[in-house]
A and B are shown apart, each in its own frame.
Chain A
């Protein structure tokens, strides 16, 4: 992936750039909003990481300007201002995701991957498929190898979230946000409990497991190796 990091704090920028480079991505860096806007405008990046508080032009202004110019590159706000209103404000400005500082690097990586590979909204599928697992979004029916699986509404939402991001790492926080609408960590094992319940229902009769635990990062739904 080609990633642009717009961040004025040298230490955070170094941490992010080093991590992304080690993960095999091409990373450019800008230290103020205007430079960031200049670099991002040609649209050659797969994803943008933007700090909210930047010199010369702040993050909100940068993303607004980009969106006004028709640049649709997915953008993630990285900021110490992670209050409730700030998140909504950031998303309204045209950002696609929001991550409060301090953050774990695995969390940032998972979110960037999810953003960069997000399918365009126009191509909304009605049936999701991973290996022999099938989810009909209209009839709200899930089958594995032709066998119908009964899911609770929350389990259905969880599975849908995972299937839409099949092959990608999905963190606990992403699941709390996407499946439970929780924008803070309730410090309970609700995610783990639901994942294990879902596994039990999906992998009946010795079928190979589909949901994989990525240690220290999260979960990944993909076809068995």
Chain B
């Protein structure tokens, strides 16, 4: 779903968050109002009851000291002073006759009572306390609860206003936040759509704020960088393969065509077939090397890493290449520290060293000297005294199929150093091509050693 689609606006995260936020705000307002209502009106009613009790106490005292007439006097005085009309009294004689007060009738039961009073044409509700008098009379003192009801009404309307305002604010705020979120998601969506459409170099906008959206955009941009790099490599490899495999395939074809044209007897056919098989063999070698490099570069082999004796591997590889060196009149010298153990893929490291020695033998000076050294700190070096590699070409020779012009005459696939580079990368081995004055010195700093990258044992 595209966040920009109007039909789906209610499905956006921003909308849902706003909705949830509003619901919570409303719930909070209602809960707060309920608590406030309960606390304030309860308090007001209690105040009222206390006032009634106090008044009843005073009037009882008056009746005790001066009898019913004294109490009646006190009541008349109170009613005279009460302008708000919120006080209600009834003083009844033992025979039920009203002695004083503004209540026409009242139940003659002791205790609290809610009375409906029709006073002054307006119906009112009163909180009343009935008390029997010594000597048979009866006293009722009441107060109008209208102020409490007013307070309730006020609280209710206040809650309504506050709740409404919160709702409005929440809606506006949620809408603003939601619009911001939706807009940024839409911007990312649009940018990714451009990448998807083929603009692989396009990147997501990142603001200075560095909030979570910017972090996400940054991460997506890094991923896109990596993808772009991989695509470039892929294109490079595809071009290389198309270009470099055409040559041997052409040779194969020419050979077969020549055989078709000129071969007369069985011996000639046999020679042509053998030549073709040898050419196929070379092609297959190139494919095997390419596949191996791809496999190494995918990094899947790291799971099979185990400690192995690098000294033994170096000795064996030197021994295996000794006959080839001898054939070119070269001296192959070794200075290998015993018992150096590293973590890695033994087969791959073996092939890496083998490729380096193969290079040293092929491109080193005929009759020259090749030195293989391994220090106890797991730094391995293969040095020859051939023409070397000019400093400006040292990066390029690690690429697939790259061959120096000077080396074109020697047989090779141009993949040897590419595999060395891939294996070094996989193992975290520090690979450097150095000047041996004269010649080339390839230095491998295995991880765990002083110059190697981390990850060794």
The answer, yes or no, to whether A189 is at the interface (CB within 8 Å) is yes
Q: List 21 A-B contacts (CB under 8 A).
A: A82-B288, A84-B295, A85-B301, A85-B304, A180-B320, A181-B350, A182-B316, A182-B320, A184-B347, A184-B351, A184-B354, A186-B358, A187-B358, A188-B320, A188-B321, A188-B323, A188-B324, A188-B358, A190-B323, A190-B324, A193-B326
Contact B284–A183 (Cβ < 8 Å):
no
With CB as the reference atom, state the residue of chain A lying closest to B325. A188
Contact A102–B321 (Cβ < 8 Å):
no
Within 91-130 of A, Cβ neighbours of B (below 8 Å) are at 102
The answer, yes or no, to whether A192 is at the interface (CB within 8 Å) is yes
With CB as the reference atom, state the residue of chain B lying closest to A154. B319
A66 to chain B, nearest CB (A): 25
Taken together as a complex, chains A and B put the C-alpha atoms of A88 and B346 apart, in Å, by: 12
Contact A84–B347 (Cβ < 8 Å):
yes
Using Cβ atoms and an 8 Å threshold, which residues of chain A touch B323? 188-190, 192-193
With CB as the reference atom, state the residue of chain A lying closest to B313. A181
The answer, yes or no, to whether A83 is at the interface (CB within 8 Å) is yes
Contact A88–B322 (Cβ < 8 Å):
no
Q: Which of B284, B292, B348, B350 contacts A182 (CB 8 A)?
A: B350
The answer, yes or no, to whether B65 is at the interface (CB within 8 Å) is no
Q: B263-281, CB under 8 A of A: which get 1 and which 0? A: 0000000000000000000
Taken together as a complex, chains A and B put the C-alpha atoms of A85 and B295 apart, in Å, by: 10
Q: B354-383, CB under 8 A of A: which get 1 and which 0? A: 100010000000000000000000000000
Contact A189–B324 (Cβ < 8 Å):
yes
Contact A102–B300 (Cβ < 8 Å):
no
With CB as the reference atom, state the residue of chain A lying closest to B412. A187
Contact A181–B316 (Cβ < 8 Å):
yes
With CB as the reference atom, state the residue of chain B lying closest to A84. B347
Q: Which of B320, B326, B327, B346 contacts A186 (CB 8 A)?
A: B320
The answer, yes or no, to whether B291 is at the interface (CB within 8 Å) is yes
Taken together as a complex, chains A and B put the C-alpha atoms of A82 and B285 apart, in Å, by: 13
Known contacts A180-B320, A181-B316, A193-B323: A88-B354 contact under CB 8 Å: no
Chain A interface, >50% SS class: loop
A residues with CB within 8 A of B: 82-85, 88, 102, 154, 180-184, 186-190, 192-193
Known: A84-B292, A84-B301, A190-B322; 13 extra A-B contacts, CB below 8 A, are: A82-B288, A84-B295, A85-B295, A85-B304, A180-B320, A182-B350, A183-B347, A183-B350, A184-B354, A186-B358, A187-B358, A188-B321, A189-B327
The answer, yes or no, to whether B345 is at the interface (CB within 8 Å) is yes
Contact A88–B304 (Cβ < 8 Å):
yes
Q: Which of B284, B327, B347 contacts A102 (CB 8 A)?
A: B284
With CB as the reference atom, state the residue of chain A lying closest to B348. A84
Taken together as a complex, chains A and B put the C-alpha atoms of A44 and B319 apart, in Å, by: 44
Q: Which of A83, A154, A181, A190 contacts B321 (CB 8 A)?
A: A190
Q: Which of B288, B300, B351 contacts A85 (CB 8 A)?
A: B300
Taken together as a complex, chains A and B put the C-alpha atoms of A183 and B137 apart, in Å, by: 122
Using Cβ atoms and an 8 Å threshold, which residues of chain A touch B319? 154, 180, 190
Using Cβ atoms and an 8 Å threshold, which residues of chain B touch A102? 284
The 6 closest A-B pairs by CB, nearest first: A193-B323, A188-B324, A190-B320, A189-B323, A186-B354, A84-B347
Contact A84–B345 (Cβ < 8 Å):
yes
Taken together as a complex, chains A and B put the C-alpha atoms of A181 and B350 apart, in Å, by: 9
A151 to chain B, nearest CB (A): 14
Q: B292-323, CB under 8 A of A: which get 1 and which 0? A: 10010000110010000000000011011111
A89 to chain B, nearest CB (A): 9
Taken together as a complex, chains A and B put the C-alpha atoms of A186 and B324 apart, in Å, by: 10
Taken together as a complex, chains A and B put the C-alpha atoms of A186 and B316 apart, in Å, by: 12
Within 323-345 of B, Cβ neighbours of A (below 8 Å) are at 323-324, 326-327, 345
Using Cβ atoms and an 8 Å threshold, which residues of chain A touch B346? 181
With CB as the reference atom, state the residue of chain B lying closest to A190. B320
Contact B321–A186 (Cβ < 8 Å):
yes
Within 211-265 of B, Cβ neighbours of A (below 8 Å) are at none
Taken together as a complex, chains A and B put the C-alpha atoms of A186 and B357 apart, in Å, by: 10
Taken together as a complex, chains A and B put the C-alpha atoms of A101 and B95 apart, in Å, by: 127
Taken together as a complex, chains A and B put the C-alpha atoms of A186 and B300 apart, in Å, by: 24
Using Cβ atoms and an 8 Å threshold, which residues of chain B touch A188? 320-321, 323-324, 358
Using Cβ atoms and an 8 Å threshold, which residues of chain B touch A180? 316, 319-320
Taken together as a complex, chains A and B put the C-alpha atoms of A169 and B44 apart, in Å, by: 112
A68 to chain B, nearest CB (A): 24
B334 to chain A, nearest CB (A): 14
Taken together as a complex, chains A and B put the C-alpha atoms of A82 and B291 apart, in Å, by: 10
With CB as the reference atom, state the residue of chain B lying closest to A196. B323
Taken together as a complex, chains A and B put the C-alpha atoms of A134 and B304 apart, in Å, by: 39
Taken together as a complex, chains A and B put the C-alpha atoms of A178 and B405 apart, in Å, by: 38
Taken together as a complex, chains A and B put the C-alpha atoms of A186 and B318 apart, in Å, by: 11
B308 to chain A, nearest CB (A): 10
Taken together as a complex, chains A and B put the C-alpha atoms of A83 and B297 apart, in Å, by: 13
Taken together as a complex, chains A and B put the C-alpha atoms of A96 and B304 apart, in Å, by: 20
Known contacts A186-B321, A189-B324, A190-B321: A83-B295 contact under CB 8 Å: yes
Contact A83–B292 (Cβ < 8 Å):
yes
B126 to chain A, nearest CB (A): 94
With CB as the reference atom, state the residue of chain A lying closest to B350. A182
Using Cβ atoms and an 8 Å threshold, which residues of chain A touch B317? 186
Using Cβ atoms and an 8 Å threshold, which residues of chain A touch B326? 193
Taken together as a complex, chains A and B put the C-alpha atoms of A183 and B288 apart, in Å, by: 13
Taken together as a complex, chains A and B put the C-alpha atoms of A193 and B324 apart, in Å, by: 10
Using Cβ atoms and an 8 Å threshold, which residues of chain B touch A187? 358
| Most chain B CB inside 10 Å of its own CB: which residue of A181, A186, A187, A190 | A186
Using Cβ atoms and an 8 Å threshold, which residues of chain B touch A193? 322-323, 326
Taken together as a complex, chains A and B put the C-alpha atoms of A188 and B324 apart, in Å, by: 6
B83 to chain A, nearest CB (A): 102
Taken together as a complex, chains A and B put the C-alpha atoms of A141 and B291 apart, in Å, by: 43
Using Cβ atoms and an 8 Å threshold, which residues of chain B touch A82? 288
Taken together as a complex, chains A and B put the C-alpha atoms of A192 and B323 apart, in Å, by: 9
Using Cβ atoms and an 8 Å threshold, which residues of chain A touch B358? 186-188
A107 to chain B, nearest CB (A): 13
